[in-house]
Amino acid sequence: MKAVVVGGGAAGMTAASRIRRLQPTWRVEVYEETPYVSHAPCGIPYFVEGLVRDKDELITYSPEFFRKKRKIEVFTNSKVLKIDHKAKKLTVLNSGREREVSYDKLIIATGAKPFIPNPKWLEVEKVFTIRHIEDGVSIRKRISKDKEVVVVGAGYIGIELSEALRKLGKRVTLVEAMDQIMPMFDKEVALDIEEYMSKRGVKIRKGEKVVDISQRRNGVLVETEKGSYKADSVILAIGVKPNVDLALMAGARRGETGAIYVDDRMWTGVEDLYAAGDNVEVLNLVTGRRSYMPLAPLANKEGFVAGDNVAGGSLRFPGAVGSAITKFYSLEIGITGISEANARKLGFKVKSVYISHSSKAHYYPGSKWIKVKLVVEEGSKRVLGGQIIGLEGVWGRISALAIAIQNEVKVSDLFFADIPYAPPFSPVLDPLIVAARVAR
Amino acid sequence: MKAVVVGGGAAGMTAASRIRRLQPTWRVEVYEETPYVSHAPCGIPYFVEGLVRDKDELITYSPEFFRKKRKIEVFTNSKVLKIDHKAKKLTVLNSGREREVSYDKLIIATGAKPFIPNPKWLEVEKVFTIRHIEDGVSIRKRISKDKEVVVVGAGYIGIELSEALRKLGKRVTLVEAMDQIMPMFDKEVALDIEEYMSKRGVKIRKGEKVVDISQRRNGVLVETEKGSYKADSVILAIGVKPNVDLALMAGARRGETGAIYVDDRMWTGVEDLYAAGDNVEVLNLVTGRRSYMPLAPLANKEGFVAGDNVAGGSLRFPGAVGSAITKFYSLEIGITGISEANARKLGFKVKSVYISHSSKAHYYPGSKWIKVKLVVEEGSKRVLGGQIIGLEGVWGRISALAIAIQNEVKVSDLFFADIPYAPPFSPVLDPLIVAARVAR
């Protein structure tokens, strides 16, 4: 039996490893377009900053590791051009040569690619996207002497890049088409983030959609609906969209989000064809709808489930609530579930609270500010989402809240969440508990 | 209508505040034996260390605050001597004078007191207990020139005191009767904690029950079953037991743990008589049994529930899983649910894992070690408990796990917990998730 995985990122390599684990005698092959597998795109902003010095540090395991330790045949620099799923054959391009590869079972884990409103912008010198390790290498090398950088897109990557660029001493203009930064957050939270970023020297231009990016004599000109910005370089971080072409070619279909549809076994509905990672949509446990969540931990788990089912297991991916976190300098920024604005758009009746508190007991030195927003469904009192920002302690509180939301906890029960207390770690009534008490 | 609360700690003041909130016209009185209300005993080790400079910092709100802002009559230095619940009368001693106080509804929130195997030990000069703010003041003043201190009891307070004393430059011997330190933890975790503490100069003597403490010419002699230790001063931190006398006098009864029995409304079963805080037992959601958990956040919530019900509300305290955390220097130490040893003692069939991981993405600078133990019930696969130690990130992971345990999450679902990821905060597969995967 032979299982083939297309794409060697988090989902693909986890899937391949799971198959190997359950089926020691199968042949398992992975085809990856870039020179790397098991890479960590989330680390690229920290590589650009120089905090991660060597690009190789961003590779969790080398192709050699998989070949030798896990007996997985990894083919890098190998682009899959065609899939004939009826004949169970791939056409692979490597070093200018095409070859055919047969398989019994196929997992498509082709991930996502940056959303580019106009492909011509990328022809302009020193306009970058940021997705692959090479993008990071290229940016770090080519912007080193730049003074003025425009970042387009104020989502997670845009914010992480802004920090990296400020730390490198660049002047940074962050341009966002929506009327707030971090559009997955509610406006009042986004404003707090914006205020913090502005104080640290990021020029934020929101509500300005980029209409053109063009080469000028001394750099690049970014034109928006409202103004124009001259820069030495421009980085596009507008978001990603799923790489669906190969999966569609194999016979999979798109779901309502535009990403590949899979069931909770990561099965596309086509025999022996599975998909996992940033190219698929998953069930959003808060909304009950299918949702596109291109997040690394989910990709990993989806890969695990896909591999498990391909290899004869019966693991099911229950869905996710959409937890994410980032930071800008010392400001930690986290979200789980859905925002109030999103909830209302989806027809939920909600109330919300947004409270300020401190991260430790008031008398313990070094306590920091932290703010918690809770979104609660009226009637059912179910917690639908939370947004937390602050100078410490955000990750843990988002994690706790994520598990509460995943278990459909009511806000009155969240008040009774038995989270631990000691003065160096939290106030006796934790910010989460206080928010729940207010929102009851 | 008049509600009286006996005891002005976390439970008592929260109860009084809740009554005031729901019943603006009632008279609400609090009787407190010490000069302080709303104090934070958990902060005392940090006061001893000098990290908290002024004892007043350990008072969250003053009696004045409650009188003026919340219209709660607070009587400090007022010891309740007698309760005649049939007549609805208390006898209170203040400044040498006794007076009678009538009430309609009574909440007993008398907390806990240090467990002292032999009261004569306290007659020895420079043998201290640690419970009240005055204890901290006295210890800080009177040990300042001491070189050698014995701490008896290697639980949370014993460990926090050991850190404080080491930081003050004392030689510290920590004596524990059980054959491990931190007896609520499993042995292998306790050994890791012990190793860390030993490296930082705490002499640990476990399996040594103290048989006598006596005055000698140049200090105090602590004699155990196995040896004897000379010290300039001795601090007893053997644990606490519930202050039940007044509640019993009023007609309440003890539960199976020896603490006061209350139902989920904090009602003792006697009309108009409630109890809350470190004097009561609560439902352990893991074991289904009643359990004694003298922990500040629970006391707060129990007080809130007691006050709510006294004032006509209908809030119910669902029980707790017993989450706690502390630290020793940089080592964070947390637990939630029950240990493997405890689970086996109670007749659960369990398996467990104890994994090592890192607190951040491997390539992100400053990643620290962290170890996670999970205890899982065989068959049901329910997570019964977790113990986490490490140099960062313990609080958040214990919080997340606590909520999972409270919601009876199976270990296979814990693997799918949607906790957020970014390189500065966690590895892409968090230690919790890895532990769940291994324990599946």
Question: A89 pairs with which residues across the strands?
Answer: A84, A102
What's the one-letter identity of residue A424? Answer: P
Q: How confident is the model at residue A41 (pLDDT cuts 50, 70, 90)?
A: confident
- A65 reaches B (C-beta below 8 A): no
pLDDT in tens, B322-361: 999 999 999 999 999 999 999 999 999 999 999 999 999 9
Question: Which member of A42, A137, A315, A353 is catalytic?
Answer: A42
Residue position matching structure tokens 């909770």: A264
Q: How confident is the model at residue B60 (pLDDT cuts 50, 70, 90)?
A: confident
The answer to whether B199 and B186 have CB atoms below 8 angstroms apart is: no
H or E segment at A391?
none
Share of chain B above pLDDT 70, in %: 100
Chain B CB contacts of A320 below 8 Å:
416, 418
Q: What is the DSSP letter of B36?
A: -
Nearest to B422 among A326, A422, A433 (CB): A326
Nearest to A402 among B320, B323, B417 (CB): B417
CA–CA separation, A233 and A143 (whole Å) = 7
CA–CA separation, B35 and B133 (whole Å) = 10
Enumerate domains of chain A plus CATH numbers: 2-113+241-310 (3.50.50.60), 116-238 (3.50.50.60), 324-439 (3.50.50.60)
Asked if residue B39 has pLDDT above 90, the reply is no
pLDDT in tens, A160-175: 999 999 999 999 999 9
Chain-centroid distance of CA A367 in Å reads 30
CB spacing of B420 vs A362 below 8 angstroms: no
Direct distance between the N- and C-terminal alpha carbons of chain A, in angstroms, rounded to an integer:
56
- A409 reaches B (C-beta below 8 A): yes
**Segment A255-262 mean pLDDT:** 98
**Segment B142-167 mean pLDDT:** 98
Share of chain A above pLDDT 70, in %: 100
Q: What is the DSSP letter of B261?
A: P
Residues in chain A: 440
pLDDT in tens, A272-320: 999 999 999 999 999 999 999 999 999 999 999 999 999 999 999 999 9
Nearest-Cα residue of chain A relative to residue B302: A416
Q: What is this structure's pTM? A: 0.97
Residue position matching structure tokens 């770090």: A140
User: Active-site residues of B: which are they?
Assistant: 42
CA–CA separation, A277 and B249 (whole Å) = 64
pLDDT at A297: 97
CB spacing of B51 vs A320 below 8 angstroms: no
pLDDT in tens, B220-255: 999 999 999 999 999 999 999 999 999 999 999 999
Q: Which residues contact B155 (CB under 8 A, 6 or more apart)?
A: B182, B183, B184, B237, B238, B239
Q: What is the DSSP letter of A320?
A: B
pLDDT at A40: 82
pLDDT at A12: 98
Nearest to A420 among B324, B409, B432 (CB): B324
Q: What is the DSSP letter of A77?
A: S
From the number of C-beta atoms within 10 Å of its C-beta (0-12, 13-18, 19+), residue A345 rates as: exposed
What's the one-letter identity of residue B301? Answer: K
CB spacing of B403 vs A398 below 8 angstroms: no
pLDDT in tens, B265-300: 999 999 999 999 999 999 999 999 999 999 999 999
pLDDT at A187: 98
Distances (CA, A) of B197 to B135, B154, B173, B205, B327: 25, 11, 11, 12, 11
CA–CA separation, A202 and A197 (whole Å) = 6
